[in-house]
Amino acid sequence: MSDTKKRILSGIQPSGALTLGNYLGALRNWVELSRGDEYEAFFMLADMHTITVRQTPKDFRKNAMDLLALFIACGLDPEKSPIFFQSHVPAHSMLAWVLICNTYMGELSRMTQYKDKAKKHASNLNAGLFTYPSLMAADILLYQADLVPVGNDQNQHLELTRDLANRFNNAYSETFKVPSAYNPKVGARIMSLQDPAQKMSKSDTNENGYILLLDPLDRAANKIKRAVTDSGSEVKRGEGKAGIENLMSIYGACTGKSFDEIETEFEGKGYGDFKKAVAEAVVETLRPIQEKYADLMKNKDYLKQVYKSGAERATRVANKTLAKVYRKVGFIEP
């Protein structure tokens, strides 16, 4: 790695289809980060995290390959930035155990996501749900990441990662780089089309609340047209206009226009005209992604080459950190 480049690690669980919110809020920022010369980026498909919730193996494998293809279809370049499956780099689980042994029970029990998931998955309240923040810390620290793009729901986990890095460094001498959160330029925080108080999510019980990257284009357009707004008619921000603000966020993210520009463009026009324009913008955003995805899924040999090469490149970096950690904790060198 060049001394002038900062290293970034990003990852998504292959637990199901990606939404428009995932793309506009995260993936598109990753693409921009990886294209320049400022950062060295690693992109992980976090399949080990995914099994804290029971998966159907056949669907799990399909979701994982779909996500890999979507990473590339959305613009990530595997030649420049390694794309790999977490489970293909053994150092993740090997470092995770060392970090689990340095993580306090109280720290894990305070994790908000654990409390939420414990309620949702009461019938499968496994130890992985409790300890996975330590695995997440291992993911980050293995690559000596300077920056980690995280949403608000992951800030608590990144703080734990920073605490563990400092704790290990203080106990065993300087070993890990202490990572910082990467806050991208104000990107779109895309909310549910049916309940704009909630983030757009594929787990929404109302399928009209989210748009999947692989939704048929006519279905995606219809979901926009059915989106909740309010009793007014002006395309403007304001109190009680969460629904229209969400559509403005989507339109702005797809077209590059600011809220002020959108308000000017639709001055004197109603919600019908605006929804039609948003639907067209979404369709034109999804079309090239879906076309590239379809081409990639016809070439499984290429996808296999991508994840194999990505794992090899990630392993070389991860193993350097792991060897240093194992030596410092006192393990006998194999």
Phi, psi of 24 (to 5 degrees): -70, -30
SS3 90: coil
For residue 135, count other CB atoms closer than 10 A to its CB. 21
Q: What is the mean pLDDT of residues 258-271?
A: 92
77 plus 180 within the same structural domain: yes
pLDDT at 53 over 80: yes
Q: Residues 97-110: what's their mean pLDDT?
A: 94
Same domain, yes or no: 110 and 219: no
41 domain-assigned: yes
Let me know if residue 199 belongs to a domain.
no
Is 90 exceeded by the pLDDT of residue 237? no
Work out the mean pLDDT of the chain and round it to a whole number: 91
> What pLDDT digit, counting tens, does each position of 165-204 carry?
999 999 999 999 999 988 765 556 899 999 999 989 888 8
Highest mean pLDDT among 5-14, 109-118, 161-170, 189-198: 161-170
Does 126 lie in the same domain as 73? yes
Yes or no: say if 47 and 87 are a contact pair by the CB < 8 Å rule: yes
The answer on 37 and 104 residing in a single domain is yes
Question: Does one domain contain both 163 and 46?
Answer: yes
Q: Across 85-94, 153-162, 254-263, which has the greatest mean pLDDT? A: 85-94
Answer whether 212's CB lies under 8 Å from 193's CB. Answer: no
- Domain membership of residue 262 as a residue range: 207-294
Q: Domain holding 270: CATH number?
A: 1.10.240.10
- Position 193 in a domain: no
Identify whether 1 is part of a domain.
no
Q: Is residue 201 part of a domain?
A: no
Give catalytic status of residue 199 as yes or no. yes
CATH code at position 308: 3.40.50.620
CB 24 within 8 A of CB 253: yes
Same domain, 71 and 147: yes
Catalytic residue of the set 5, 6, 177, 202: 202
Residue 254 lies in a domain: yes
Walk across the sheet containing 147-149 and list its strands. 83-85, 39-45, 6-12, 147-149, 180-182
The backbone torsions φ and ψ at residue 39, rounded to the nearest 5 degrees and listed phi first, read: -125, 150
Could you tell me which residues come within 8 angstroms of residue 332 by beta carbon, excluding any fewer than 6 positions away?
Answer: none
**Active-site residue 202, yes or no?**
yes
Regarding whether 136 and 39 lie in a shared domain, the answer is yes
Same-domain check for residues 37 and 68: yes
324 domain residue, yes or no:
yes
H or E element at residue 234:
none
pLDDT in tens, 119-140: 776 777 888 889 999 999 999 9
Annotated catalytic residue, options 199, 223, 241, 275: 199
Q: How many domains does the chain divide into?
A: 2
Question: Same domain for 160 and 231?
Answer: no
Distance separating alpha carbons of residues 68 and 85, to the nearest angstrom: 9
Backbone dihedral angles phi then psi of residue 216, each to the nearest 5 degrees: -55, 140
What is the average pLDDT across 90-113?
Answer: 94
Same domain, 40 and 74: yes
Residue type, position 285, single letter: T
Per the domain annotation, does 238 fall within a domain?
yes
Q: Which of 120-129, 233-242, 262-271 has the highest mean pLDDT?
A: 262-271
Q: Is there a single domain that holds both residue 289 and residue 304?
A: no
How many residues does the structure list for the chain?
334
Give yes or no: residues 50 and 31 share one domain: yes
Is the model's pTM score more than 0.75?
Answer: yes
Whether 324 is catalytic: no
C-alpha distance from residue 64 to each of 12, 14, 52, 67, 85 (Å): 10, 5, 15, 5, 8
C-alpha–C-alpha distance, residues 39 and 8, integer Å? 7
- State what percent of residues in the chain have pLDDT above 70: 96
